[in-house]
Amino acid sequence: MSSSSFPAWLAAQAAQREERGLTRRLAESDRGEPLLDLAGNDYLGLARDPCVVAGAVAAAHAYGAGASASRLVSGTLSIHTELEQTMAAFTGFASALVFSSGYHANLSVVQALADRDTLVVSDAHIHASMIDACRLARATVTVTPHNDVAAVEEALARRAQRRALVLVETIYSVLGDAAPVATLAALAAKHDAVLIADEAHGLGVVGPGGRGLLAAHGLTGRPEVVGTGTLSKSFGSQGGLVLGAPAVREHLVNRARPFIYDTGLAPAAAGGALAALRVVQAAPELPDRVRAKAAALAGACGLDDPPAGAVLSVPMPGPREALAAVATAAGHGLRIGCFRPPSTPDGISRLRLTAHAHHTSEELALAVKVLRLIMPGTCG
């Protein structure tokens, strides 16, 4: 086998990953000893809620297992329209468009709203889907330091391009902190730019009744603000959404390639998300509950401040230490997440823990006990 052959190249890549402690392995979470989950994003426990599962099953029976075609061909179903109208009304935006995933929603909104005469100003800690969206957009991209409002303003003010987009997450998926959305929206208005804020970790967790950080700041009616989201986290289902003015929705339907050339959202996912939304509307205390649990976990991890949402981020000395902490936690019955380069733009490996509204006080107490044992710098 020559050293330049395809198998040799794969083997060399694998060896390199292994040496750096960066090999990723898939593990079936429904097998083996059940672990208390502090790694997943089902913040409100709705993925297994009987009403949500029943909503998914009913939609599959009514509409079939798949949407069968792109939304523009024959894949738009009345359940898509109902989901879009309900999501828009819930979040306070004038309209919504649903996608087969949050990843596609982000790819779509940036690709369709940018052109060669656009500057895209992207926070350094933006999700991979937004990074890939920038590549797809063929626009000029400036990456600004995390939550650095002055750097965003400078980039907008000095731009040569006619148009500009500012990309942020409302609650950052790995760092767990919040973006200064009110200031950024004001900057967008001042500099004739559009703020695109990903609410993947905000919806269901922050804002009034879980309506998100944009709603909390009264930004959902502003023409220069566009939201994106996912149905796969707080809503316990699958799929993505873009929230904005009807003209934004209409533009995406006509120009967003990841929307146009993709089969419509599966009916079961739409039905599950709709049912989840009804659960959230009927139980507006759920977001408060998840944030209270996040604050308790933060104390156990020795973090000074409670997180802005449900995500806790604990920096670790390196990827091996992070993996060792994950293994120790698993040995004590706890599943925690870990992010290592290249998923962390600053090269810092981190433990990522998520709070869940449905964890019982006994489960929370177990989690706190185990975290006190394994956290660097905290005593047992």
Ligand X SMILES: Cc1ncc(COP(=O)(O)O)c(C=O)c1O
On the question of a cis peptide bond just before residue 208, with omega within 30 degrees of 0, the verdict is: no
Measured from the CB atom, is 118 or 232 closer to ligand X? 232
Question: Least distance in Å: CB of 264 to ligand X?
Answer: 15
Spell 128-160 as b/e; 16+ CB within 10 A means b: ebbbbbbebbebbbbbbebbeeebbbebbeebe
Neighbouring CB atoms inside 10 A of 97's CB total: 26
- Residue 45 vs 102, nearer CB to ligand X: 102
CB of 297 to ligand X, least distance (A): 19
CB of 41 to ligand X, least distance (A): 7
Residue 101 or 111: the one with the smaller Cβ distance to ligand X is 101
Q: Specify the residue for token string 């099953």.
A: 57
- Which residues are paired to 120 by β-bridges? 141, 165
Name the residues that contact ligand X, by CB under 6 A: 101-103, 106, 127, 129, 169, 173, 198, 200-201, 230, 232, 240
Residue carrying structure tokens 């090269």: 347
Looking at beta carbons only, is 101 or 108 nearer to ligand X?
Answer: 101
> Which one, 170 or 364, has the nearer CB to ligand X?
170
Sign for the pseudo-dihedral over CA of 50, 173, 81, 132: negative
Residue nearer to ligand X on the CB measure, 238 or 370: 238
Question: Can you tell me the distance from the alpha carbon of 360 to that of 291, in angstroms, rounded to the nearest whole number?
Answer: 14
- Complex with ligand X: residue 201 or 222, whichever CB lies closer: 201
Q: Give the rounded distance of the alpha carbon of 137 from its chain centre.
A: 20
Assigned token pair, 269: 């996912």
**Which residue is nearest to ligand X, using beta carbons?**
102
In whole angstroms, the minimum distance from the beta carbon of 195 to ligand X comes to 15
The whole-angstrom separation of Cα 76 and Cα 99 is 11
Q: At what angle do helices 78-91 and 267-282 cross, to 10 degrees?
A: 30
Shortest separation between residue 102's beta carbon and ligand X, angstroms: 2
Of 147 and 173, nearer to ligand X (C-beta) is: 173
Compute the least distance from the CB of residue 373 to ligand X, in Å.
28
Those residues with Cβ within 8 angstroms of residue 170's Cβ, 6 or more apart along the chain or in another chain: 178, 179, 181, 197, 198, 199, 201, 202, 206, 212, 213, 214, 227
Q: Residue 374 in 3-state DSSP?
A: helix
Q: DSSP character for 34? A: -
Query: Minimum distance from CB of 212 to ligand X (Å)?
Result: 13
Shortest Cβ distance from residue 57 to ligand X (Å)? 21
Longest dimension (CA), the chain: 63
